[in-house]
Amino acid sequence: MTHALLSDLTTRARAEAHSAAAACPCGATATLADRPDATVVRHADTVAKAHAPDTTRTELTPRLIAATHLPGILLPPLSPTPAHLHGRLVTFWPYGTPVDPENPDAAPWEDAATLLALLHRTPTTALPASPSPTPAPLALPPMRGPAKAALAVTRLRTTAAHHPAAASVLHAWSTLPAWARAESPMPDTATLCHGDLHLGQLVRHPAPDGPWLLIDVDDLGVGVPAWDLARPAAWYACGLLSPEEWTRFLTAYRTAGGPAVPADGDPWPALDVPARALTVQTAARSIAKAVAADRPLDDVEQALVDACDRIGSALPESE
């Protein structure tokens, strides 16, 4: 099935590239990702993505419409209507130049923060679900951040609960409020959020030197905007992101009027729960990957587990 999916994705990407009048040099096809939750193929200037098997059209289509209507913030799809292929929903996108992982000094922290602030400030009522003359408000699903954290913890419990570090991570998870564990609705159901912000979610478009845009709408929805700041906040708290980079990110977000944290003063009352949740999520994934590969935790993974130890010792379990 994987080979058939990749082959057909390539064929679809070629067709979309031709229909978009994109350049089509021989041999310009590459597999960008092939995971259970996403298979991504590039052909020339077109990218085809097969979404997770459990992705529904009801959830995905509003997210595609939102990206279509926010071209200065999100990379717009080539079509807001997903296709079907081998039981998967498939979407098509223009290619953008990703962040260079080999050049951390050039990481676009300010651009990422500014884009998030603009996204968070966008009223969902400004996103029409249907074209004029009778536009209707777009019914966006909840942002999937807490649900993804819960999935990571479930995987830890089912595949790596025997690992010596698992108990610390699971105890830290127990200290989070129910909404952060995806066990109850989020306290904010109106703010537009990305849901899975990290530097891999930015590209320059048009390639190679266009402005930075956010990509990957699979987790887009309404929810707590601080969740989108939580990964860099967690890295900073764990010592994996320098104070200078964190300050650049937070300052740019505040300068752009982002509503997730106060305009000045201590941001941590707003960031504490999401940052703890992302720490647990990342630690849970790290342990599961280490067990699957039959290897010890590396220094970064151990730092995340150590942070979970601190979380668990400082806070009682949530009700």
CATH number of the domain to which 81 belongs: 3.30.200
**Token duo for residue 26:** 């021989």
98 vs 208: CA distance, rounded Å? 9
One domain, residues 192 and 306: yes
Q: Could you tell me if 224 and 194 are in contact, meaning their C-beta atoms sit under 8 angstroms apart?
A: no
Alpha helices in 38-108 (DSSP H): 57-69
Residues 84 and 166 in one domain: no
> Considering the domain boundaries, does residue 132 fall inside one?
no
Q: Residue 103 contacts by C-beta under 8 Å, 6 or more apart in sequence?
A: none
Residue 1: pLDDT band with limits 50, 70, 90: very low
What gap in Å lies between CA 160 and CA 98, rounded to an integer? 32
Whether residues 78 and 160 fall in one domain: no
In a domain, 34, yes or no: yes
Q: 165 and 306: one domain?
A: yes
Same domain flag for 81 and 158: no
Residue 105 maps to a domain: no
Cβ neighbors of 313 (< 8 A, separation 6 or more) are: none
Element counts in the chain: helices (H) and strands (E): 9, 10
Residues of the chain above pLDDT 70, percent: 88
| 46 found inside a domain | yes
pLDDT tens for 274-308 read: 999 999 999 999 999 999 999 999 999 999 999 99
The Cα 63–Cα 88 span in angstroms is 16
Q: Give strand pairing partners of 47.
A: 42, 93
- 47 and 162 both lie in a single domain: no
Segment 160-210, tens digit of pLDDT: 999 999 999 999 999 999 999 999 999 999 999 999 999 999 999 999 999
Question: According to the model, what pLDDT value does residue 128 have?
Answer: 82
- Asked whether residue 89 is assigned to any structural domain, the reply reads yes
Domain CATH code at residue 152: 3.90.1200
Count, residues in the chain: 319
Within a domain: residue 65?
yes
In a domain, 14, yes or no: yes
**Number of structural domains the chain divides into:** 2
Residues 188 and 288 occupy one common structural domain:
yes
| Same domain, residue pair 166 and 303 | yes
CA 64 – CA 60 distance, rounded (Å): 6
Specify the amino acid at residue 124. T
Sign, CA torsion 35/103/251/64: negative
* Same domain as 157, residue 277: yes
The residue among 93 and 14 whose pLDDT is bigger is 93
| Residues 299 and 202 occupy one common structural domain | yes
Q: Mean pLDDT across the chain, nearest whole number?
A: 91
For residue 269, pLDDT over 90 is answered with yes
* pLDDT on residue 158: 98
**Nearest alpha-carbon partner for 213 in 72, 106, 110:** 72
Q: Which domain holds residue 294?
A: 145-314
Question: pLDDT: is 120 or 105 the higher one?
Answer: 120
Asked if residue 273 belongs to a domain, the reply is yes
Q: Based on the number of CB atoms within 10 Å of its own CB, is 256 exposed (0-12), middle (13-18) or buried (19 or more)? A: middle
In terms of domains, do 86 and 150 share one?
Answer: no
